[in-house]
Structure 1
């Protein structure tokens, strides 16, 4: 089945938010923008929404208010976004580590675990926007430690997409096939 046919099949069956979960650097925002575009759905990055609500950048939130305050704001933002209907939502890497937030995502959305190998995650997070959990640390070691804790939670997602190939079209097709398989069973 070609991409256009697959998009058509999936587009008409989306009846709730699609939420992308996974580690930092996996490509959640990149895939989310693309999914939103091809499915005709709005795309929202929960990190951007947290920054907008707080009136400051995430590194500033961590530095001045601390990670618990950031996670509180993140939980409120995700709850609000889930109530806004069909859209594609990219979440921060630790969003699902708060059980009540994870439970809302699993219950109220179509969840997709966006994955990549550790070496790829480390490379993608080395240069780019500041990431408070990596500040002054070895990215590969931090990501390895986080994966031990977070991967079992991410694994609860309905669909898994591997972004290691880096090919946007192949990644998009993985996501669309996963959605088509899931929605065909619902």
Structure 2
């Protein structure tokens, strides 16, 4: 049985998942959703407040529940939160219910893109560089393992990245059809 036609974007904060995801959904005529925005919409609270009240574990539980719900849909481009891949169950859901694209960007790019952002609880530290380095060190191998393919986003427009994803998807689908 082939996987559904969903596309899931994974990667660290600042990789461009939401922005690229919107362009990708438009190019493919799919619905775009952002798991973090869905959490905020359904709880009526911002992610920083959820972290403050429930801690990271509480947030991750909400994230897993939203992921399970959203990935049951079809014809979807989903931008996921950076830590969604920490759960083996989440990685299994992503793999079984769509094509997983890892949006990669180097540390300097991620730092530049998140430097003014006060909405990311994990980056509200005195040493954002060190925090982001630690996050990347822990998550990079998991992103790569979970992904069907990796796309570089640094120094590129979101539209050009979305177009590359479309080309890779076409090739990926063609290869899957040849294999079956």
TM-score by length of 1: 0.89
Query: Which residue of structure 2 aligns with residue 173 of structure 1?
Result: 163
- Partner of 2:78, secondary structure, is strand
- Partner of 2:9, secondary structure, is strand
2:153 is equivalent to residue 163 of structure 1: yes
The range that moved more, 108-117 or 127-136, is 127-136
Question: Over aligned residues, Cα RMSD in angstroms?
Answer: 1.3
2:164 is equivalent to residue 142 of structure 1: no
- Partner of 2:45, secondary structure, is coil
Runs of 4+ in structure 1 displaced over 3 angstroms?
none
CA contact (8 A) 1:160 1:178 kept: no
**1:111-159 residue CA offsets vs partner (Å, 9 max, x unmatched):** 0001111000011111135110010232221111111110111102002
1:69 aligned to which of 52, 58, 75: 58
2:143 aligned to which of 125, 150, 154: 154
CA contact (8 A) 2:36 2:63 kept: yes
Taking the aligned partners of 1:181 and 1:139, their CA distance within structure 2 comes to 38
**Structure 1: gaps spanning 5 or more residues:** 1-13
**1:58-102 residue CA offsets vs partner (Å, 9 max, x unmatched):** 000001111111000000000001101120000000001011011
2:42 is equivalent to residue 53 of structure 1: yes
Deviation at 1:166, TM superposition (A): 2.6
Query: Which residue of structure 1 aligns with residue 114 of structure 2?
Result: 125
TM-score by length of 2: 0.92
